[in-house]
C-alpha cells in the first residue's frame, strides 16, 4: 500500500493531552507540540516537516492514539494531564501500538488528580516532566477542581470524569475495561449520534465500569504522609 487509507467511519483510541486554559476557559493541548485541540470541531493534523496531507508514510506526523491503555500507563498519568478516548478519521496510518490520523475529536475524558496520601510533590513533578516533552512548559499545575472539569465538559460537549493518579501497577485490570470502552465507543458512535438510547446506555455502562475499577485503586483515607 502506497497511500494511507481515507476512513469514513472513525476508529477510536487512547491518548493524552495537557490541560491548559485560554480566555474561554480550559483547553486541551498536545503534550508533544504546542498545538491546541479546538472545541466542538475536529482537530486536523499538521506537519512541521511540510507533508502536504498528514499523516504520511515515512513521517511521524498525524494525531496519535493507542489501541491499549497500558501503553500510556508505562510511566503513569498525573494531574495536569488529561486521558481520553478519541475518535480518529480521514486519512489514517497504522503506527506503533495504534494509529496516526488526519482528524480527531475526544469522546470521553478522564482527568487525574494528585493523591497526596501516597505520592510526594517531588514524585508528581518528576512524573509530570516525564510525560510532557514540550519545551517551555511550566511546572506541574495544581490538580483541576470540579468547576474546571465542568467547564471542560461544557466547552467540548463530552463527559469529563475525575480519577486518581494512574500508575503502571494498575495497567492490567484497567486496560481490559478500557479496551471494552474503546470498542463500544467505536461500534456505537453512529447510533449514539442518532439518539439511540440503547447505544448510549452501553457506552455509559462501559464508562462506569472503568471508573469503578479506577476508584478502587485509591488508597485508604488517612492523613498525608510526613516527608522527612
Average pLDDT along the chain: 82
**Residue 130 confidence (pLDDT) above 80:** no
Tell me which H or E stretch contains 180.
helix 171-187
Q: Is residue 176 scored above 80 in pLDDT? A: yes
Cβ-Cβ contacts under 8 Å for 166 (sequence gap 6 or more)? 73, 76, 77, 78, 83, 112, 174, 214, 217
Q: Is the peptide bond before 55 cis (omega within 30 degrees of 0)?
A: yes
8 A C-beta contact, residue 55 and residue 119: no
Give me the DSSP letters along 67-83. Answer: SSGGGTTSS-B-TTEEE
pTM of this prediction? 0.83
Query: Residue 79: pLDDT band by 50, 70, 90 thresholds?
Result: confident
What's the 3-state SS for 7-24?
Answer: EEEEEEEEEEEEEEEECC
Buried b (16+ CB within 10 A) or exposed e, 136-156: ebeebeebbeeebbebbbebb
pLDDT in the model for residue 139: 57
Return the C-alpha cell found at 202. Answer: 452501553
pLDDT band for position 135 (50/70/90)? low
- How far apart are the C-alpha atoms of 71 and 68, rounded to whole Å? 6
Q: State the cell numbers at 45.
A: 493534523
Q: Residues 178-207: pLDDT tens digits?
A: 999 999 999 999 999 999 999 999 999 999
Give the Cα-Cα-Cα angle 34, 211, 164 (nearest 5 degrees): 60
The 3 state secondary structure assigned to 13-58 is EEEEEEEEEECCEEEEECCCCCCEECCCCCEECCCCCCCCCCCCCC
Q: Which carries the bigger pLDDT value, residue 2 or residue 217?
A: 217
Q: Pull the grid cell for residue 19.
A: 490541560
166 pLDDT band, cuts 50/70/90, is: confident
Q: Is the pLDDT of residue 159 over 50?
A: yes
* Cβ pair 25, 81 in contact under 8 A: no
Q: Where are the alpha helices (DSSP H) in 41-170?
A: 121-131, 146-156
CA angle, 28 as apex, 134 and 178 as ends, to 5°?
Answer: 100
Amino acid at each position: 500500500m502506497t497511500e494511507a487509507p481515507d476512513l469514513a467511519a472513525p476508529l477510536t483510541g487512547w491518548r493524552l493531552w495537557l490541560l491548559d486554559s485560554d480566555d474561554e476557559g480550559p483547553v486541551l493541548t498536545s503534550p508533544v507540540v504546542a498545538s491546541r485541540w479546538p472545541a466542538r470541531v475536529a482537530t486536523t493534523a499538521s506537519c512541521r516537516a511540510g507533508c502536504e496531507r498528514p499523516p504520511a508514510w515515512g513521517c511521524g506526523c498525524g494525531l496519535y492514539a493507542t489501541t491499549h491503555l497500558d501503553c500510556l500507563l508505562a510511566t503513569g498519568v498525573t494531574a495536569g494531564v488529561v486521558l481520553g478516548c478519541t475518535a480518529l478519521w480521514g486519512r489514517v496510518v497504522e503506527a506503533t501500538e495504534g494509529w496516526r490520523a488526519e482528524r480527531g475529536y475526544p469522546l470521553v475524558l478522564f482527568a487525574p488528580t494528585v493523591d497526596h496520601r501516597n505520592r510526594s510533590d517531588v514524585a508528581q513533578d518528576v512524573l509530570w516532566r516525564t510525560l510532557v516533552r514540550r519545551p517551555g512548559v511550566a511546572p506541574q499545575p495544581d490538580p483541576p477542581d470540579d468547576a474546571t472539569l465542568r467547564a471542560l465538559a461544557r466547552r467540548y460537549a463530552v463527559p469529563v470524569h475525575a480519577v486518581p493518579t494512574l500508575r503502571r501497577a494498575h495497567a492490567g485490570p484497567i486496560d481490559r475495561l478500557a479496551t471494552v470502552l474503546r470498542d463500544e465507543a467505536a461500534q456505537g458512535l453512529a447510533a449514539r449520534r442518532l439518539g439511540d438510547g440503547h447505544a448510549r446506555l452501553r457506552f455509559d455502562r462501559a464508562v462506569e465500569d472503568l471508573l469503578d475499577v479506577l476508584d478502587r485503586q485509591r488508597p485508604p483515607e488517612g492523613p498525608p504522609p510526613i516527608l522527612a
